[in-house]
Structure 1
């Protein structure tokens, strides 16, 4: 009798799962001997353009969510198992060639730039966790189509909130300048 009770509980209690995360780091090569300064080297080498601007580093992220629900006999519906996935790609320069002075400047700059880009990733992680938490705690709805609509609307609203946070983060840090990501020219 106990195994049947456990099986019944498995189908009626929400399942808790962590957000699946993947961060891919993609370098691009910048040749240290191609320009006279580190700033010129990195600006000429970057393949990153966004919104008509060129950037030395960039973190792109996407969050996808799915969920399984349980429908009661009365038609009411509740999420039982959300699946939230964060995929991110961080693109940073990889300096090749050049003298020891340009490498010292690059190492200092790259540490600050990576710290800034990790801030973008931290915002993405917070967004994914907030979406997952909201899906796990969403109250039962009158039917499954309402549940699906409400869950997706709320997750999309959370996503938009964190996209705005990311925009504000760049404004507050000057795209990393206040964190030390300043290119010497």
Structure 2
């Protein structure tokens, strides 16, 4: 699998949010839309939660660290760091450079798939920022153990919200098919 590291951004969303992004490509072969679709079904990325293959996938994880400091008999947030790792996996067809009808259709399809996955990438970025904001918003707690539990609950709540947003987006777009992420039949040259 060819992997292209896009960015370990030098200018993250903020000093306490680091965004790591990577695009991976898997190669497919074929000389018709049906053959290309079969290759994607056979070689596409596996969804971690369902175990099913898909034509493209944006998988992300958000991690965080935080520190509290004792203050006047309780504990308050003193430091927060959040990191999001985003891995986008897309199909790559060697024949896409030509001008024949299938190559034009592939480029249209691949562009639609990429646009769909970019929305998932944006969800991941927004989730990291929401986690950071939620962590900083945790109020003063009676002790640092309570603060840690409250911060972890706040972060997980945001992750659930953005995971649901991504699932809803896939349901509304038919996993991108309503946005053009469907290979159409083409006439032979």
Alpha-carbon separation, structure 2, partners of 1:112 and 1:165: 20
C-alpha contact 1:43 1:56 (8 A) present in aligned 2: no
CA separation of 1:28 and 1:68: change in aligned 2, threshold 3 A: same
TM-score by length of 1: 0.83
Aligned pairs for 1:47-58 (under 5 A) are: 47-50=44-47, 51-58=50-57
**Corresponding position of 1:64:** 63
TM-score by length of 2: 0.81
> What's the CA shift for 1:52?
4.8
- Alignment gaps of 5+ in structure 2: 1-13
C-alpha contact 2:75 2:143 (8 A) present in aligned 1: yes
Aligned pairs for 1:73-112 (under 5 A) are: 74-97=72-95, 100-112=100-112
**Corresponding position of 1:153:** 153
Structure 1, residues 59-85: CA drift from partner, whole Å, max 9, x if none? 00000011122212x331111111000
- Alignment gaps of 5+ in structure 1: 1-15
Higher relative contact order (CA 8 A, sep 6+): 1
Count, aligned residues: 166
Report the structure number with the largest CA radius of gyration.
Answer: 1
C-alpha contact 2:19 2:83 (8 A) present in aligned 1: yes
Computed over aligned residues only, the root mean square deviation of the Cα atoms, in angstroms, reads: 1.7
SS state at 1:44 partner? helix
> What's the CA shift for 1:147?
0.1
**Corresponding position of 1:181:** 181
**Corresponding position of 2:39:** 44
> What's the CA shift for 1:53?
3.3
SS state at 2:46 partner? strand
C-alpha contact 2:57 2:90 (8 A) present in aligned 1: yes
